[in-house]
Amino acid sequence: MTQLELGDSARELAREVLIHGPISRADLGRRLGLSPASLTRLSKPFLDRGLFVEAAEAVQGATGRPARPLDVRVDAQRFIGIKLTGEAAHGVLTDLRASSLAQAEQPLDGHDVDRVVEAISRLVDGLRGVAGAGAVGGVGLSVGGNVAGQRVVTRAPFLGWRDVALADLLEARLGLPIDIENDVTALTTAEQWFGPARAHDAFAVVTVGAGVGYGLVMHDRVVTTPDTGLGLGGHLPLDPNGPLCLDGHRGCSTAMLSIPSICAQVGIALGREVAYDEVLDLAAAGHPAARSVTDAAGRALGRMMGYIANLTMVEAIVLSGEGVGLWRVAGETALAALAADRDPEATPVEVHVDSAGFGSWARGAAAVAIQGSLGRLRLSA
């Protein structure tokens, strides 16, 4: 039996069904510019292999002719996504739509490449045990920094790495396909494919956590450049009276919104170290020092969203990251600041809050693995 590599039309078909299924053949034909005959020919190998299924029949149009929408069989394969930070590897086992089936975490006992590879391998082995033998189709890994060709980590400040061929090292250890991506790009891919804003062909993602990240989808494609991974969205000037970031920028998005900066500001006011969850709890209880910092952060977040919406003309923004709990105490302030920076007659911006924390980052990495599997997919002729 011959194995044929998929052409561009077949990959686009698989992508559309994966993202938008169950979807009618008529809608697929319109979206992809395919005739009914071409659509039947391209979908048949996916149906024969069991990657596509036909959903329940529905009556179509005034003729009453039954339609059988196409969908993916979400349990056809499992994938593992891993978000790598300076302290730990956070992993998730998912189905074909990056829905979380199990989560695990492996602390890092150092940043030496061999130690990190071993920690990731232990995490993957544990999640493979949950999935069952032979069920995992690939591993996606996301890292804060720059990645070349989804293979080499060219720069990872949190790890102190330069030019590490991480995919090769992990594939030799695990025997699974490995795809690596910048963490914000990976998360934006997951939001584009499976998130609440996927109905839009243009939207933005803002992440709040150890730093501040920014991702953009335009014309149904994630925007990337050679500078992706430098964290340029982290230094947008937001408050001329705000604190300094480590690079000396006053009131930039990192200084106003990152977890370390927020904790440091409240800690100075209280005269002691304070954790992020405590800051949010104090703010929710009305503590004046905590409330002052989180209100300023909320105004800065609203201004950042306003800049993004005004300059890119997107109508939806997804907020995510491990620091997105800020929305609980400063969401109304942020929305008011966003509205203040928009023309009163402009289309309202949809704000979607993804509060899954590190689970969202790991699902983003799994989406990269799913994307990579489509690129490698071969079907029997």
3-state secondary structure 118-149: HHHHHHHHHHHHHHCCCCEEEEEEEECCEEEC
Say which CATH superfamily domain 78-188+360-380 falls into: ATPase, nucleotide binding domain (3.30.420.40)
Residue 315 has pLDDT above 90, yes or no: yes
φ/ψ of residue 65, rounded to 5: -75, 130
φ/ψ of residue 299, rounded to 5: -65, -40
Distance between CA 358 and CA 208 in Å, rounded? Answer: 11
In sequence order, what DSSP letters do the residues of 271-314 get, joined into one string?
Answer: TS---HHHHHHHHHTT-HHHHHHHHHHHHHHHHHHHHHHHHH--
Distance between CA 5 and CA 378 in Å, rounded? Answer: 5
Average pLDDT of span 119-131? 94
Residues 6+ away with beta carbon under 8 Å from 66: 57, 58, 59, 60
Average pLDDT of span 201-218? 95
Q: Name the 3-class secondary structure at 115.
A: helix
Parse the chain into domains and list their residue ranges: 3-72, 78-188+360-380, 197-353
Query: pLDDT digits over 82-104, tens only?
Result: 999 999 999 999 999 999 999 99
Q: What is the pLDDT of residue 135?
A: 83
Residue 56 has pLDDT above 90, yes or no: no
Average pLDDT of span 354-368? 90
CA max distance for the chain: 74
Residue 213 has pLDDT above 50, yes or no: yes
Average pLDDT of span 267-284? 98
Q: Name the 3-class secondary structure at 367.
A: helix
Residue 4 has pLDDT above 70, yes or no: no
Distance from first CA to last CA of the chain, Å, rounded? Answer: 7
Average pLDDT of span 192-199? 88
Q: Do domains 78-188+360-380 and 197-353 have the same CATH topology?
A: yes
Average pLDDT of span 340-344? 95
Distance between CA 235 and CA 240 in Å, rounded? Answer: 13
Average pLDDT of span 176-202? 92
Estimate the share of the chain in helix, then strand, then coil, as percent rounded to the nearest 5.
Answer: 45, 25, 35
- Please give the share of the chain, as a percent, with pLDDT higher than 90: 71
The band of 306, judged by pLDDT with boundaries at 50, 70 and 90, is very high
Rg (CA), the chain: 22
pTM score: 0.87
What residues are paired with 215 via a beta bridge? 205
Distance between CA 273 and CA 210 in Å, rounded? Answer: 16
Q: What is the pLDDT of residue 1?
A: 38
Q: What is the pLDDT of residue 95?
A: 92
CATH match for 3-72 among 3.40.47.10, 2.40.128.90, 1.10.10.10, 3.60.15.10: 1.10.10.10
Look up residue 122 and give its two tokens.
Answer: 């232990």
Q: Name the 3-class secondary structure at 107.
A: strand
Q: What is the pLDDT of residue 282?
A: 98
Q: What is the pLDDT of residue 2?
A: 41
Average pLDDT, the chain: 91
The band of 65, judged by pLDDT with boundaries at 50, 70 and 90, is low
Distance between CA 223 and CA 188 in Å, rounded? Answer: 9
Residue 184 has pLDDT above 70, yes or no: yes
Burial class (CB in 10 A: 0-12, 13-18, 19+), 74: middle
| Kind plus residue range of the DSSP H or E element containing 313 | none
Per CATH, domain 197-353 is 1.10.8.50: no
Q: What is the pLDDT of residue 3?
A: 45
Distance between CA 137 and CA 369 in Å, rounded? Answer: 8
The band of 329, judged by pLDDT with boundaries at 50, 70 and 90, is very high
How would you classify residue 160: left for phi > 0, otherwise alpha for psi between -120 and 50, otherwise beta? Answer: left
Average pLDDT of span 255-277? 98
